[in-house]
Structure 1
């Protein structure tokens, strides 16, 4: 995996790590269901912990949003490494881009709120982008090496195309995947 550490750290003490994981999972679910303005009390309740426990781990809403976002970025990167081990290069790249589209379609409000709070050029987003870029480069380089994609391709161009697909306000997942299939056809050598 990338040598750039992601910007939030999971606690190491067992009980603190368990509460951290419970809170991040509860927040992820609540944000997906009701948006990022879900009350912190509701998130603590879902996690089965007190509000004081939430505030000890996450002193404000932005800190909780960061933890959920980093957890999602970590998952996106881990999928890239998993696909690289399990699939031929082009299929690994395609599978990762499909998972990236799925992630992007569902996480617009989370990234938007964090961008407002932290700024798009913040150290937080820079570290997250570096990790995603490193994971994607691994897949793209392997596909270039085996000749299954065009040699002149650059990962950031591909990610911008994928980002463009998922930016539509009313973009349905089925339509996003159809558009991605068009992009994937254009990547082939």
Structure 2
């Protein structure tokens, strides 16, 4: 079967898959890993059979949700740069980073369990996120909006630190204030 090529999903099947992934983020974030898959299907507006056809196991769903969230975060960088000034794109992306981390922490135990069984849900996520952040920062430096002496790895560490301490919904305002403080420190003084 290795020579078999996969057909692209029909538009309705792709929409159902996207609805399931979006619902799973919401449900796992709110209820944690004990969330019932049938509840996710209901939240997505699809039948359980549709969910299981797309994701035959809880592990498959969790991995797909995580990878989808990483892809959405990384794909947002060029879209934001096309719509906003580089600094405002960076600011908006840091908020999306908080959303990503909040969703990730709702699934952290499951992701660890998958990794413990030999799976690799994280794959190249760190590199992908670092590349997205680097592109945003390079655009800001080129526009003269941020300092050039701070490497993206330092900002990534700051974002991770903020997210670790303040990513929960109850701490969102504090997290956003800390993000603004970090970005203000990165700004070029005029």
Q: Which residue of 2 aligns with 1:39?
A: 36
Pairwise CA RMSD: 2.7
- Does 2:73 correspond to 1:73? no
Unaligned runs of 5+ in 1: 1-8
The two structures have a TM-score, normalised by structure 1, of 0.80
| Distance in structure 2 (CA, Å) of the matches to 1:19 and 1:76 | 20
Conserved? CA contact 2:74–2:128, under 8 Å: yes
Give TM-score scaled by structure 2 length: 0.80
Q: Secondary structure at the match of 2:33?
A: coil
Any gaps of 5 or more consecutive residues in structure 2?
A: 1-5
Structure 1 residue 73, shift from structure 2 partner: 1.8
Q: Distance in 1 between matches of 2:66 and 2:100?
A: 11
User: 2:29–2:105: 8 Å Cα contact kept in structure 1?
Assistant: no
Q: Does 1:176 align with 2:175?
A: yes
> Who is 1:134 aligned against?
131
Among candidates 127, 140, 143, match of residue 143 of structure 1: 140
User: How far off is 1:107 after superposition?
Assistant: 3.5
Q: Which has the higher contact order (CA 8 A, sep 6+)?
A: 1
Tell me, what secondary structure is at the counterpart of 2:9? coil
Q: How far apart in 2 are the matches of 1:125 and 1:108?
A: 13
Answer yes or no: is the 8 Å Cα contact 1:10–1:17 preserved in 2: no
- 4+ residue segments displaced more than 6 Å: none
Equivalent residue pairs, number? 180
Q: 1:49 to 1:105 in 2, by over 3 A?
A: closer
